[in-house]
Structure 1
Amino acid sequence: MKRILISLIAIVTSAVLFSQPLQRVSPEKAGMDPNRLVRVDNIINSSIEKGEIPGAVLAVVRDGKMAYIKSYGNKALYPKIEKMEVNTIFDMASVSKPVGTAISIMQLVEQGKLRLSDNVAMYIEGFKGYLDTETGKSIDIRIVDLLTHTSGLPPYAPAAELVAKYGSPSPQGLIEYIATCKRDFRPTTKFQYSCLNFITLQNVLQNITGVKLQDYTQKNVFDVLGMSHTTFNPKPELYNMIAPTEKQKDGTVILGLVHDPLARLLNGGNSGNAGVFSNADDLAILAAAMMNGGEYNGKRVLGNLTVETMTRVPAEVSAMGRSLGWDNYSSYASNNGNLFHPTKTFSHTGYTGTSIVIDPVSKTAVILLTNRVHPEDKGSVVRLRALVANVVAGSIVK
């Protein structure tokens, strides 16, 4: 009996430690001026008053500790008003690309299961390269081209047409379309942000591992780090914690299902471009791990050199500004603000209003989560993200 009790205590203790959030400290202890940092409150509240967003959660990580976390406004305005809480779970939209897909792909790289220079056609049957009309030769599209959005794949796919043709969901129909659709330019010659790049990466991973992306990331990334409120296709018991997104024509709102049409209608929520649901505490853990060589609380998801490679813009496409799954200084990186490191800061945004900015030089992360598409897809957070990043950066005094 005594052994059983000891075993149960050990299991419970292990579970608590395993899902341990970042230690909360005052801004002063994190080397930040609280009088400067508190300016973010007025900026975010002003955005709410203007109707740009219904509410928000802001988390600031410094040196692996939570220096600031606060909720603002409401998580829902329709069908009833619900207050925003710091533990609210958000549809991360395209933040899923680095948080779920890219980290998982980089794990396969460091496990020796693929190379960044590998031709995508090695892993997806019938995947076409770029046809050079002058020479008649096919130019390979590589894994690294997908990660840096320099592959030449179109930005998106006609979701309604594909549903009409293949039904819903139809992951196979979607990848068949991507494998043969028109390539817009020769790989590495331009930057074009594309959801199709990361749906392709999803299929590469699934063909290598034999498991769905959502299952791979849950086991090898989210669960390892103790991100207990992060998942694809959240279970109904989590719905009361989730911020709803867009109101539909029938009067319902999207809740607990990914907002992105390709991810929801074609991929059934298991998608490389969108589909992760998470909250500020969990993303803070991930940010801390990325600023600590891929490790948090004794749990490692990436090697030190893997993190360095992942967050560095490849020399071949240095003018484009995209690292492997992250955005360092492309035309999409305005959310980084003006004060964090100009080339080493890496970040990503999500269509629903989410964003994460990580500056490894100052050891600071800014996680700003909003559901700007609720109740209607009219809100804007482009300027807000940069203003918040600047205030956070400006509050660093040590």
Structure 2
Amino acid sequence: MYPKTRQLILNYLREGVYPGVSYAFIKDGLSEQATYGYAQLEPSRPLTSETLFDMASLTKVIATNSLILQLIESGYLKLDRPLQTYLPQFKDPIVTIRQLLTHTSAINAYIHNRDALNQEELKTALMSLQSSSDIGQKVAYTDTGTLLLGFLLEEIYDQPLHQLFQERVLEPLHMVESTFTPRGQNIAATEDHPTRGLICGQVHDPKAFVLGEHCGSAGLFSTIGDSLIFAQMILAGGQTLTGEPFLQDATVDSLFADWTLGKLKRSLGWDIKETKNDHRPLLFHTGYTGTFMILDKEQQEAFVFLSNRVHPIDKKVDYLKKRDHILELYLQEKAQASSNLL
């Protein structure tokens, strides 16, 4: 499957864009996956197919977004009601659930002296953030919206988020290798941080590190196999591997639409890419540590990519260019494969 994309992934591995990578394709009812490189460079530890990766912002769509979508399905949450309706501690009375999910809330996310705050202080500061006059007018991707939605979930269920995610997401989906408390040696290392040292087995994201079990924007560690389980659930219209409903098929289908009132091409929690040949919408999301997935329910295809590209040094600008090259080539090969079927 996708030989040019596979070769480019290997080329970038050899160039040192990322020390290790696990990736997988789903196509024509089959899955193909591969793992190369290192979980840690010094001392060297090779990756395996069971290596846990810091999923970073893929936590948003796998965990937080899934539970929010279930609450929307049940009728408990209304998209255009203010968050404050459900979470009275949040100070801004205007920002809606839809705006948080589509990153159109225009919340000024700046928090003075953020890195010096403890867990409770950081949560209080996040609850005090205010939107601006641009609300609903443009997309500004941020983790703030998902952090607030995580606090909302804790308010509703009266449980710490990580316990919620374990019981209501990982266990129903049978993602048995995934965890928020990784143990052992088979974990991909991330950044060699100036104050935290080599990060391995702890979440890389600084706000998630402080918020701990109360963070909905990052913190999940998963394998390529478990990541495919989640992707297959979306392709199956919300059904788990055992055929049980996790999300409604109509909910999954609705994700492939633009949910911004100004046609800004954002879904509920997801970004939207398009196919090259017929411009059909595809679900797409990335994670800062070097992860992404792109999903095509109509053609039953997926591409999941996990790397530890921030290890040992974060070279964000170079990586983003190379990541976009991988995505572009994949979409080109996907379009070519589709045209060959016509």
Q: TM-score, normalised by structure 2?
A: 0.90
Partner in structure 1 of residue 8 of structure 2: 43
Greater CA radius of gyration, 1 or 2? 1
Letter in 2 for 1:70: A
Give the CA deviation at 1:156.
5.8
The answer on whether the counterparts of 2:192 and 2:198 sit within 8 Å (CA) in structure 1 is yes
> Is 1:215 aligned to 2:163, yes or no?
yes
Give the CA deviation at 1:281.
0.9
The answer on whether the counterparts of 1:156 and 1:196 sit within 8 Å (CA) in structure 2 is no
What are the within-5 Å matches in structure 2 for residues 329-368 of structure 1? 329=273, 339=276, 342-368=279-305
> Is 1:141 aligned to 2:81, yes or no?
no
Aligned residue pair count? 334
1:291-317 deviation per Cα after TM superposition (whole angstroms, max 9, x unaligned): 111002212211111212334212513
> Is 1:198 aligned to 2:146, yes or no?
yes
Give the CA deviation at 1:38.
2.6
Worse-matched range after superposition: 81-90 or 98-107: 81-90
Identity %: 30
> Is 1:181 aligned to 2:97, yes or no?
no
- CA RMSD in angstroms comes to 2.2
C-alpha distance in structure 2 between counterparts of 1:149 and 1:162, whole Å = 21
> Is 1:96 aligned to 2:59, yes or no?
yes
Unaligned runs of 5+ in 2: none
Partner in structure 2 of residue 299 of structure 1: 244
C-alpha distance in structure 2 between counterparts of 1:89 and 1:289, whole Å = 20
Partner in structure 2 of residue 12 of structure 1: none
The answer on whether the counterparts of 1:124 and 1:207 sit within 8 Å (CA) in structure 2 is yes
1:42-76 deviation per Cα after TM superposition (whole angstroms, max 9, x unaligned): 2112102222111211101125541x100122221
Q: Structure 1 residues 152, 286: CA separation in 2 closer, same or farther (over 3 Å shift)?
A: same
Letter in 2 for 1:389: Y
1:248-295 deviation per Cα after TM superposition (whole angstroms, max 9, x unaligned): 236831111110000002x02541111111111111111111111100
Letter in 2 for 1:106: L
The answer on whether the counterparts of 1:233 and 1:270 sit within 8 Å (CA) in structure 2 is no
Letter in 1 for 2:199: I
Q: Helix, strand or coil: the match of 1:317?
A: coil
Q: Helix, strand or coil: the match of 1:215?
A: helix
Partner in structure 1 of residue 37 of structure 2: 73
1:15-52 deviation per Cα after TM superposition (whole angstroms, max 9, x unaligned): xxxxxxxxxxxxxxxxxxx5xx2333321121022221
Q: Structure 1 residues 340, 222: CA separation in 2 closer, same or farther (over 3 Å shift)?
A: farther
Q: TM-score, normalised by structure 1?
A: 0.78
Q: Structure 1 residues 157, 96: CA separation in 2 closer, same or farther (over 3 Å shift)?
A: farther
C-alpha distance in structure 2 between counterparts of 1:51 and 1:121, whole Å = 46
C-alpha distance in structure 2 between counterparts of 1:304 and 1:280, whole Å = 24
Partner in structure 2 of residue 246 of structure 1: 191
> Is 1:56 aligned to 2:21, yes or no?
yes
C-alpha distance in structure 2 between counterparts of 1:188 and 1:70, whole Å = 41
